Structure 1
Amino acid sequence: MLIGPFNFNYANSTPENPVLEINSYSWTKVANIISIDQPAGTGFSYAKYPKAYITNDTLSSMLCYQFLRKWLDDHPRFIKNPLYVGADSYGGLFVPLIVQQIYKGNEVGEEPHINIKGYVIGNPVTDTSAEYNFRIPSAHHLALLSDAVYKVNRNISVVL
């Protein structure tokens, strides 16, 4: 975990006995971090009922917003803390939805008020159709496709 309190000491670890060391650059030295795997079924997340695994970005974002409100209800000492929502990759699609839910909830007076300050997205997916259609030119540019293969395939387009 690059931002957490520990790193793996790979030189002294084995598969049976991983060794941890203090991460002197941990974000947890200056911030409180809540890590959420969502939607249900990704990472370490799970659900009690099979229907909960059927989801979409809008529903997942709403459930994440509900979780944040419930978490703040249970941990009121954090209510005034500034909140930044962050993710990478596919988070480029759902983080803005979560932040939008927070702003809408704050505007209509839902409690607790969430002290949202912004969001951060690393290497985000933003438009899947555009990104799929750029894969062939990207692979050619990185010399992963020969000129001959590129010329045959450069006009292929994916419609999602």
Structure 2
Amino acid sequence: LISVREKLKAEYIGRPGPELAQMRKSGVEIQYRVEVPLVAFLGDTSFGPVFEQPDVVDAEILITECTFFDREHKSKAKAGRHLHVDHLAQLLPRLKNRHVVITHVTRRTGIRRAKRVLQKMVGDELMKNVHFLMDFEGARDAGEIEDAGPPPSDTAE
């Protein structure tokens, strides 16, 4: 997802609005196009050149899978074209994303364990921007919702 914006060229900054409007009307290109990557979504992804693409590296939010977190599963990751935690640990220091959302963690690992493994590898500072999809740690218990009672009625009495 890319936001396309028009920016005023440097040589025209500070000129009065009516002058700029007249220049545009006469066909002078006073603006240039800027593409700002907002969200990059990668499905099942092999470790490789895609992670060097500016739209991936610079996106505000990167959503990527990291399926395997056990050392002995690195070959499974490669065979299935998935990321292994070792790859993610190499990537995180190079990425400029404000948020990195990890998806597709294998059930045999579990999200809590995956978070611990990754944090041990990259440290607290890099983990500040990492989020795991379906991470309900700290979320309300379902029981709290049930105990809240029925929603208020819309009918006026």
The TM-score, its normalising length taken from structure 2, stands at 0.31
TM-score normalised by the chain length of structure 1:
0.30
Higher-strand-fraction structure = 2
